[in-house]
Structures are given as C-alpha cells and as structure tokens.
Amino acid sequence: MTYKITSFKTPKVELSDAQRVLKSKYFISFGATALVLTGIVAQVQAAGAPVAKIQTATNVDGSSLRLITKFGQHNSAQITDVFYSSGTAKPMKKIGQLVQPMGADKRALVFLTDWAKNGNYAVETVDECGAGPNCSGMIYRIDAKQQKVVEFFKTSGSHVSLVGDYLIEKARDSCCAWVADAYKLNQKRTQVATSPAFSVEIAYDEEKNKAKPVTCTFYQQTTKGRLVIEPPAKAFLQICRHYAAPYSLGAQGNAQ
C-alpha cells in the first residue's frame, strides 16, 4: 500500500490551557482551528490513499525525534512509528510503535511535546475526552540509552507542566474550580510518583464572587480528610494564577 506523506515541524511553543481545551473538547466542532493550535493534523483520506503524517523535533542536545502516523487496516486504529537519532549526522532508528484504537468515542491524537519546557521532547497521546477539557492519555519518554519508548505518566487532566521537582497536572474539577495535582519526580526525572504529594484547588465563580479574589488552597489528602497546608515553596504560587486574577490562600490546618 502506498502512503501519501505530509511533513511539518512541531511548534516549539508549549500549548496553553485554552489551546488544550480546544484540542480536546472542541476538536471536532472547530476543526481547522484546533488543528492549527495543536500542530496535529487529523487522519483523513486523500486521493484515494491513506495519509501518513510526520512530526519532527530536535532536542537541546542535538538528538531528534520523528513520528510517522498512519491508519491501520480498515481504519480501526491509528499507528505511530517512533524514530530516534542520537545526533545531527546520525541516522534515524525506529525505537517503538504506538497503536491507538479509533472509534466514535476515541480521540486518537499523538504529538511531540516539551512538557517540561527544557528543550527535551516526549511523545504524548490523547485517547478519550469527557464533556470538558479533561482527557485521558499517556506521556512517553525516550530512553536514549536503551533506545526505546517508555511509559512515563498516564494523563487524566488537561495540562501537564514542571514546577521544581514536581510534575503538575491541572484538571477542571467543576464549573468554577480547577485542581492541580503535584507528583514528585525522581532525581533524573525519569519516573513519577504514583500518587500526588499534594494538590492545589483554584476556585473562582465570576458571577457570585465579582468582588472577591480567587481562592487558592494547597492541601493533602489524609485519613481524616483534606488537610490544608502552606505552599511548599514560592515557585508553586504560579499555579494560583490560573485565572490571571488576584488570589488569596486558604487557611492552613483545616481538615475538611
């Protein structure tokens, strides 16, 4: 079977929360707009042949990644071959393959992402999304030494970022609140803790609280309920600026 190839460079700019909302919740209805925002082109039929899409990215150390995505038999799955090169003059080598089922309730998106904003790219998939911006998927890291693709973090929110030595996953919790879970990373940032070390609730009801600031509450889940804590470091206060509005911190020590 012959595939038509369309190449494009993955944008170096990390997606904003609004862009990721468009990617997940409004992907189908906004069509072309979402494609531009996410740097992902939907799999379509063109000229009677399946279309293969190529994404490329270069890491800060000169190594590079390439994704080649195409349809499986009977369009039942999206198949992405992952290639890696250790340097500018080094050949690309296939190091893995990702298979995503396709269907009415499946998104089947795959893209290269510098989620930590440190010049090193990973591979992220989006498999299913709910009515809002939260989507399930997986972030895969590249093990350059063993030349393979490794599962890194199973996503369930709308945005992942790095603050200090923590992976922060932000998700919509309700109509008027978001929650950010902070997962501890190991020293080499190759593994993520299985449960959050702490969480942050950012609550704001524009209609009911026009004269009140955003409430930003840092807490831990305990056997007695939610224990409000102080921010572990000033760097984590950036999480509170989700709504780009003034905020106040929740009172410490309250178990709810």
pLDDT for 250 = 84
What tokens does 154 get?
Answer: 């199973």
Degrees, nearest 5: CA angle 51-155-163: 115
**Rounded Cα–Cα distance for residues 166 and 13 (Å):** 21
Domain ranges within the chain, ordered by starting residue: 1-158, 164-256
Contact 67, 97 (CB under 8 A): no
pLDDT for 163 = 97
The ranges of the chain with pLDDT < 50 are: 1-48
**Rounded Cα–Cα distance for residues 134 and 171 (Å):** 6
pLDDT for 251 = 73
**Rounded Cα–Cα distance for residues 235 and 9 (Å):** 32
This prediction's pTM: 0.78
Helix, coil or strand: residue 86: coil
What tokens does 176 get?
Answer: 């008027």
Q: What is the DSSP letter of 39?
A: T
Residue 129: burial class (beta carbons within 10 Å; 0-12, 13-18, 19+): buried
* Residue 117: closest CA among 61, 147, 160, 68: 160
Helix, coil or strand: residue 53: strand
